Structure 1
Amino acid sequence: MPAQPSQAIDSDLAARLAAQAASADGRAGARLSAAIADVFADERDRLDERTRMAINRLAEASVAAIERDIAGHAARLLEARGFPDAAALLAGNRAMTLPRLIESGLMRDPGVMGEMIAQARVDLIDEALAAQRAPGSTAMLLAALAESADGVVRARAVAYLVADSRRRMAHADRRAELPDALHERLAWWVAAALRERLGHGVPPEVDRALSEASQRSIAAHDDGERVEAAAAQLVAAIDPVAGTLPQLMIDSLGEARTSLFVALLAHALGIEFSEARGLTLDADSDRLWLALRALGIERHLIAQVGFVLCEADRARDVETLPESLDRVATLAPETAARAVAPLTLHRDFRAAVRALARSPRA
C-alpha cells in the first residue's frame, strides 16, 4: 500500500485551504459591496472606461517610477553593506508594490488619488483639444511668448514648454507630477511595501537602506518642475490685464494647454491652482461660468470657453450650456464674485467650516 500522508502534512494542507477559503470569502464580500455601490451610483459619478484607463496608467507609472528609485538605490546600499540576497530581490523585481498598496486601501487616499484623477482628466482634455484643432493651424500664443521682447516672459514661456512637453510623454512614461507632500507620502508607502515584500524578520540594515533610499527620492523631487508651477510663473510674468485675459484663455485652450488656462484663471481670481483646476473640471455646476463672470467676462466670450470645453470634456453637456450661460449672464460681476469668494479662503479653513456644518450644534 502507498504510504499515507502524515498528520503534519494534513494539518498544514488544511490550514492552507482554510486560509484560501477565508480569503476567497473576503473577496466575494468585497466584490458584492463593489457591485452594490456600482448599482446605486449616480450616473454622473461614474468614470467612463477611457478615463478609468488613463487614471490606472498614471497610477501604475507613478508608483513604478518611485519604486524603481527606492528599490534600485536600496539594493545598491545593501549590496555594498553585505546583504546580497535582499539586494538581489530588490534589484531583480519590478512592480511589486502597487497591488499591495491597492489591497491595503492606501491608494484610496483622497489627496493622492484626487491629484492623479485630476491630472488624468486634464491629459484627456488636452488630447481632445489637440484633436479638435483645424488641420494646418499653428500654435501662435506660446510661440509668441517664447519670443517675447520681455526676457522674463520669454524665459518663463520656454520653461513652461519644457515642463508641458515632459507631461505629454508616452503613456508608459507619464507619471503624476505630485506636490512635495503627496510624493513624500507615496514614497514612504512604497518603501513600507518593499519592506513587507522582503518577508518577516527584516534586519535593521534593510530598514536603514530603504529609509535612506526613500529620503533620497524625496529630496530629489522638485516641486518647481511641475507643469502647474511653470504655468503659474509664466502667467505671473505676463500679469495679464482684464482686457487681454479672455483671449489668452481662449487661445490657451485652442493650443491644448489646459494647464495654462487654469493658471490664468487662478491668477485672475487670486486662488490656488488646484482650486482653479477644480472649477475647470467641474462639469456638474455653473461654478466655472460664475468665476469667469466674476472677472467681468462677457457672455459671448464665456460661451467660447464653454463650447470648447464641452467639446473636449465628455463629462460636460453642450446642450445645457446655453441655459447655464443665460443664468450667469444676468448677474453683475460683483454678484458673481461674491458667489465664488469662498474659494479665496484657505482650503483647510473651508474644510473645517464644512465639517462643522455637517454636525450642527445641539
Structure 2
Amino acid sequence: MKIRSTVILSTAAALIGGAGLLTPIADAAPATSIDVLPRMIDGAAAGYALSYSTTDEHGRPAIARGQVYLPSGTPPPGGWPVVSWAKGTVGIGDSCAMTTALDDGSAEDPLAVELSKPLLTQLLRSGTAVVSTDYIGLGTADAHHYLNSVSEANAVTDIVGAAADELPELSRTWVAAGHSQGGAAALATGARANIYGSASDFRGVMSFAPSSNLEAVVPLLSPTTPRIAPLDNITATLIYVLHGLRDSRPDVDVNSYLSELGRDYLAQAEDSCISELREKGIGVAPQQLLARSLSDPVMASALREYLSVPTIGYTRPVVIEQGLADTVVPPALTTALAAELVARGTRDVTYLPVPGATHYDVIAATVDDALPRILGMLH
C-alpha cells in the first residue's frame, strides 16, 4: 500500500546515444513519481519506490521503476554519493519485479535481490546511497528486453538523475555496479557514460559475474546441435532472450526459428520468474526450443546487436569479479571479455577470478574486496 501520495513532475525530452550517436527524442515519456517504500533493506534509514523516464535501445521513451535507499545520518556537503545497483535476473514478467514484491507485501524478495544484500547493506552503513532499477518492462507497460545492453544501461543511468531530482540529499557522484544480468548492464553503463544521460560525476564500474559473449555462443545452436550438458544451463536464458528480441526486433521473425516446444515456452515466459523457469526447464536442452539454426545471418546479426556488451568507450575504472565455480556465467566467457577490454584500449581494468565462488555467492565472497574499491571510486 502506498504511504505517500504520488508527486508528478514534468520532464524535458531526452537524448540517447544509439550506436554512438546522439539522437533527439520527441514526445518524451511522462515524469517521475516517488512513494515511500513499505519496507527496506538492512542499513537503510529511508527508502522510496521511484517511477522515472528513460529510453529503450531504439531511442523510444519508456518508463522504468526502481528503489532508492538512503543511509542514516546527515548527508555530507553535496549529498550522499550513490551506487546505481543493477539487479541480476529475476524474470521478465511484472510479478517478478522487486517493486511489485514490495507493493504486494511478498514475504520474500527475489533471489537476485537477496544475493546483493551483503554488499548493499555495507554500502549503506558506509554512508553511500543505493538506487536500483527494475529495468524497462518490469512493472511497467513495456515488454522487458532481457539482456539488451543499451536499454538496461539507460535505465541504470537515468535512475541516478531521477532520484537526485526528487531527493536533494543525493549527490550526482555515482558508480554503476551489478551482478549477472546487472553485471553486464553496469558495464554497458560505463561504456556509455560519455554519450548518454544528464550531467553527472560518473566514477566507475563494479561488475560481478557479468553475462557476456552470449552473442558468440547462442548462434551456434540449432535443432541438430549435439547435446552437451553445460549448454542446458542456458535454456532459461535463451527463452528470455528470444522473448525480448521478438519484441525489440519485429523485423526478425523470431517465431520462425522456434519449435512447437519453443513457442510454448515463450508464450509462458512472462508467467514464470527465473527460479520457476529454471525448474520447469530441467532436462530441456536449448536446442529443443529451435526449429532452425540461429546461425542464420539475419538472426546472428540481430543477436549480436541485441546482446553485445561494449568493449570500448570506458574512461573510468572497471572492476570485474568472477567466481571460478560459476556454472551460470562460465568463467571462460568473462575472462575473454576482460581480455578484450584490455586489448581494445581500456586502460583501467581489474579482473579478479575468485576460486571456489559460485554464481550465487560471489558477491558475499568478495564484499571485503569490492566495498573498499567502490568507496575508493566514490571518494
Q: What TM-score do the two structures reach when normalised by structure 2?
A: 0.28
Structure whose alpha-carbon radius of gyration is higher: 1
More strand by share: 2
